[in-house]
Amino acid sequence: MIKLGLPSKGRLQQQCVDWFAERGLEIERAEGGREYSGRVKGADGVELVLLSASEIPRELAAGRIDVGITGEDVVREKIPVWDQKVRLAAKLGFGRADLIVAVPSVWVDVDTLHDFDAAAAAFRKRHGMRMRIATKYHNLSRAFFRDAGVADYQLVDSQGATEATPLNLAAEAIIDITSTGETLNANHLKILSDGLILKSEANLCVSKTSTASVTDIEAFLALVS
């Protein structure tokens, strides 16, 4: 028996259902669709667990589910030393999103991280505070800026509508995921030319900490490969 974790609702769930359907597996929710469980028709010994998408990385890391579908961005952000806890077994071709650094389009002098760093130093001198960057990706942001040698910034937590934080004067820049860039444009932001942190998409992930039989997991992966 293995436990498969999927998002409990939304577009991502539908894409997961479609992806399995293409491989001859039918994701069937329990009677009435209220209970967050169900089964996988076409695969024996697979228990379906429906979870909030944001909890799937944690459940994989803890080994409470054996296989799950979630974005690479949240795996890397939410699981400390993620590569010891989770294996990214397959990229699924949907849920594509780039984690990027975006600044106001009106900053015609800022195109690269080098420019951003220089602007941040001057900003701090003038405003007496570090340049504010709104994000929910704190760990990935910090690691990216540390590697790039950017200083004099601060991360401001934003769990939603992050693109609007500069408009609301709550931040000067953002680090967030984008797929088409339209929301960025609409909020008067542009992506730094070297501001791509991660190209993410939905992945079939396998827990490295679960106690399920390796044979069962490999059999399931072979079935959907």
Partner 1 sequence: MARGGRAGADLTRLSAMRADIASIFDAAGAARVELETLQPADVMLDLYGEDIRARAYLVQDPVAGEQFLRPDFTVPVARLHMEQGLSPARYYYDGLVWRRQEPDVDRPTEYLQAGIELIGGADPAAEEAEVFNLIRSALGDLVDRVITGDLGVIFAAIDALSVSEVRKGALRRHVWRPKRFHALIERFANPIEPNPSQTALLSQSSVERRKVIADAGKFVGLRGEGEILERLDILDADAAEPPLSASDRAMIEAVLAVSGPSNEALAELRRICPRSMAPALGRMERRLDALAAKGIEASDLSFDATFGRSLEYYDGFVFEFRAADPALPPLGGGGRYDKLTAKLGGGAGSTAVGGVVRPEAMNAAETGA
Q: Write out the residues near partner 1 by the rule CB under 8 A.
A: 80-81, 84, 104-111, 114-115, 118-119, 121-123, 126-127, 130-132, 138-139, 142, 145-149, 151-155, 166-167, 169, 171-173, 187-189, 193
Q: Are the beta carbons of 140 and 161 closer than 8 angstroms?
A: no
Rounded to a whole number of angstroms, the minimum distance from the CB of residue 4 to partner 1 is: 27
Rounded-to-integer distance, Cα 119 and Cα 140, Å: 21
Closer to partner 1 by Cβ: residue 171 or 202: 171
What is the largest distance, in Å, between two alpha-carbon atoms of the chain?
Answer: 64
Closer to partner 1 by Cβ: residue 74 or 131: 131
Rounded to a whole number of angstroms, the minimum distance from the CB of residue 64 to partner 1 is: 19
Rounded to a whole number of angstroms, the minimum distance from the CB of residue 188 to partner 1 is: 5
Q: Are the beta carbons of 171 and 165 closer than 8 angstroms?
A: yes
Rounded to a whole number of angstroms, the minimum distance from the CB of residue 192 to partner 1 is: 11
At residue 129, the 3 state secondary structure works out as coil
Closer to partner 1 by Cβ: residue 150 or 217: 150
Give residues with Cβ within 8 angstroms of 112, minimum separation 6. Answer: 192, 193, 194
Rounded to a whole number of angstroms, the minimum distance from the CB of residue 209 to partner 1 is: 14
Closer to partner 1 by Cβ: residue 152 or 216: 152
Amino acid symbol at 137: Y
Residue 120 burial (10 A CB sphere; 0-12, 13-18, 19+): buried
Closer to partner 1 by Cβ: residue 39 or 114: 114
Rounded-to-integer distance, Cα 202 and Cα 6, Å: 11
